[in-house]
C-alpha cells in the first residue's frame, strides 16, 4: 500500500468534491457548470484559481469570501474533505482494479446526491444517466457483455420493485411518499450489486432513514424527508463491505 497513492487519491477526491458542490448546486437550477466561471454566490466576483484550492482556500481566507467577506458555507470544505478521505478509502480498500473505479463512482454519486437531495429534494436525471453509462462501461470492460446484460436486468428488477413500493406507499398514505429520483437510482444500484443485495440496500436504507424521519416529522410536520441519501449510504455500505449474496444467504441461515 503506497502512501503517495493514498495522498494522491485524497487530493483527487478533494478536487472532485469541490466540483460535486458546483454540480450539485447548479444542475437543479439548470445553470451551466462547464463553461461559466466559478463566482462568489454573494458578490458575484469571479474567483481566481487560488480561491478555489480545496480546503486550503477556505482555511487561508478564514472561511470568508476574499472580496466581500461573506461567510462561505462550511458545507463546501466539509464536502471536499470527506470526498478526499473517501477517495483514499476507495484506493486503500480496492487497490488499482475495476472495483476501484466502481468505488470512486459510488462515492461520487453519494456526494453529489447529498448536495442535490438535501438542498433541493431531487436527484437530477443527468446524474443518474451519467452514472448508468459510467457503470455499464466499467462492467462491460471488467466482466464482458453477458454479465453487463445481467446487471441491466437486475437494475430493471430493482427499479420495478422500488416503483411498486412507491405505488403501495401512495395508496396507503394517500400522498406522494418517494421522489422519482429515489426510484430511478435503484437502476444504478443494479448495475453494481447482485439482485438480493440490491433488495437488502432498500431495507438497510429504510432502517437508517426511519429514526431520522421520525425526528424530522416530530419537529416539523411539513418537512419533506429526502430518502435518496439514505439509499445511497446503504448502497455504499454494502459495496464497501464486499459482502456477497452467498454471505447474506449464510447469514439468513439458508
Ligand atoms: Zn464574495
| Residue 50 scores a pLDDT above 90 | no
Question: What's the CA-to-centroid distance between 85 and ligand 1, angstroms?
Answer: 28
* pTM for the predicted model, two decimal places: 0.90
| Residue 139 scores a pLDDT above 80 | yes
Question: What's the CA-to-centroid distance between 87 and ligand 1, angstroms?
Answer: 30
| Residue 128 scores a pLDDT above 90 | yes
| Residue 31 scores a pLDDT above 80 | no
What's the whole-number mean pLDDT along residues 87-91? 97
Residue 144 Ramachandran class (φ > 0 left, ψ -120 to 50 alpha, else beta): left
pLDDT on residue 5: 96
pLDDT on residue 35: 60
What's the whole-number mean pLDDT along residues 77-82? 95
What Å distances lie between residue 20 and 16, 24, 66, 87, 135, CA to CA?
A: 6, 6, 22, 13, 18
pLDDT on residue 177: 65
Give the three cell numbers for residue 171. Answer: 395508496
- 3-state SS assignment for residue 46: strand
| Residue 103 scores a pLDDT above 80 | yes
Length of the chain counted residue by residue: 254
Stronger pLDDT, 172 or 137, i.e. the higher one:
137
Question: What's the CA-to-centroid distance between 123 and ligand 1, angstroms?
Answer: 28
| Residue 222 scores a pLDDT above 80 | no
What is d(CA 38, CA 99) in angstroms, rounded to the nearest whole number?
32
Q: Looking at 21-30, 33-42, 119-128, 203-212, which range is the least confident one?
A: 33-42
| Residue 192 scores a pLDDT above 70 | yes
Give the three cell numbers for residue 9. Answer: 487519491
What is d(CA 190, CA 99) in angstroms, rounded to the nearest whole number?
15
State the pLDDT confidence band at 100, using cuts at 50, 70 and 90.
very high
Which residues make beta-bridge pairs with 46?
39
Question: What's the CA-to-centroid distance between 52 and ligand 1, angstroms?
Answer: 13
| Residue 34 scores a pLDDT above 70 | no
Question: What's the CA-to-centroid distance between 10 and ligand 1, angstroms?
Answer: 27
State the pLDDT confidence band at 155, using cuts at 50, 70 and 90.
very high
Average pLDDT along the chain: 89
Question: What's the CA-to-centroid distance between 35 and ligand 1, angstroms?
Answer: 20
Question: What's the CA-to-centroid distance between 86 and ligand 1, angstroms?
Answer: 29
Q: Which long-range contacts (CB under 8 A, 24 or more apart) does 59-68 make?
A: 65/40, 67/40, 67/43, 68/40, 68/42, 68/43
DSSP per-residue string spanning 108-143:
HHHHHHHHHHHHHS---HHHHHHHHHHHHHHHHHHH
What is d(CA 233, CA 86) in angstroms, rounded to the nearest whole number?
12
Question: What's the CA-to-centroid distance between 53 and ligand 1, angstroms?
Answer: 16
Question: What's the CA-to-centroid distance between 142 and ligand 1, angstroms?
Answer: 46
Question: What's the CA-to-centroid distance between 38 and ligand 1, angstroms?
Answer: 11
What's the whole-number mean pLDDT along residues 143-158? 96
| Residue 83 scores a pLDDT above 70 | yes
Question: What's the CA-to-centroid distance between 48 and ligand 1, angstroms?
Answer: 12
What Å distances lie between residue 115 and 46, 81, 223, 226, CA to CA?
A: 22, 14, 17, 11
Tally of CA atoms within 13 A in the half-sphere of 182 that contains its CB: 27
Domain spans of the chain, in order of start: 1-96, 124-254
| Residue 187 scores a pLDDT above 80 | yes
Amino acid at each position: 500500500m503506497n502512501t503517495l497513492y493514498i495522498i494522491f487519491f485524497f487530493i483527487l477526491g478533494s478536487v472532485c468534491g469541490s466540483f460535486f458542490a458546483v454540480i450539485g448546486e447548479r444542475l437543479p437550477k439548470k445553470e451551466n457548470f462547464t463553461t461559466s466561471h466559478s463566482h462568489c454566490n454573494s458578490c458575484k466576483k469571479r474567483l481566481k484559481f487560488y480561491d478555489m484550492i480545496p480546503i486550503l482556500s477556505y482555511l487561508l481566507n478564514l472561511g470568508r469570501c476574499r472580496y466581500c467577506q461573506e461567510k462561505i458555507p462550511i458545507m463546501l470544505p466539509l464536502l471536499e474533505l470527506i470526498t478526499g478521505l473517501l477517495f483514499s478509502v476507495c484506493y486503500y480498500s480496492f487497490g488499482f482494479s475495476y472495483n476501484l473505479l466502481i468505488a470512486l463512482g459510488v462515492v461520487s454519486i453519494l456526494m453529489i446526491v447529498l448536495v442535490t437531495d438535501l438542498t433541493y429534494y431531487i436527484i437530477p436525471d443527468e446524474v443518474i444517466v451519467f452514472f448508468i453509462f459510467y457503470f455499464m462501461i466499467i462492467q462491460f470492460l471488467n466482466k464482458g457483455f453477458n454479465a453487463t446484460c445481467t446487471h441491466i436486468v437486475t437494475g430493471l428488477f430493482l427499479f420495478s420493485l422500488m416503483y411498486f413500493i412507491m405505488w403501495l406507499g401512495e395508496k396507503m398514505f394517500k400522498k406522494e411518499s418517494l421522489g422519482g429520483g429515489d426510484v430511478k437510482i435503484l437502476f444504478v444500484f443494479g448495475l453494481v450489486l447482485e439482485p438480493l443485495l440490491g433488495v437488502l440496500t432498500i431495507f438497510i436504507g429504510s432502517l437508517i432513514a426511519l429514526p431520522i424521519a421520525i425526528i424530522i416529522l416530530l419537529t416539523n410536520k411539513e418537512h419533506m424527508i429526502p430518502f435518496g441519501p439514505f439509499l445511497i449510504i446503504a448502497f455504499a455500505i454494502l459495496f464497501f463491505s464486499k459482502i456477497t449474496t452467498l454471505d447474506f444467504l449464510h447469514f439468513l441461515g439458508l
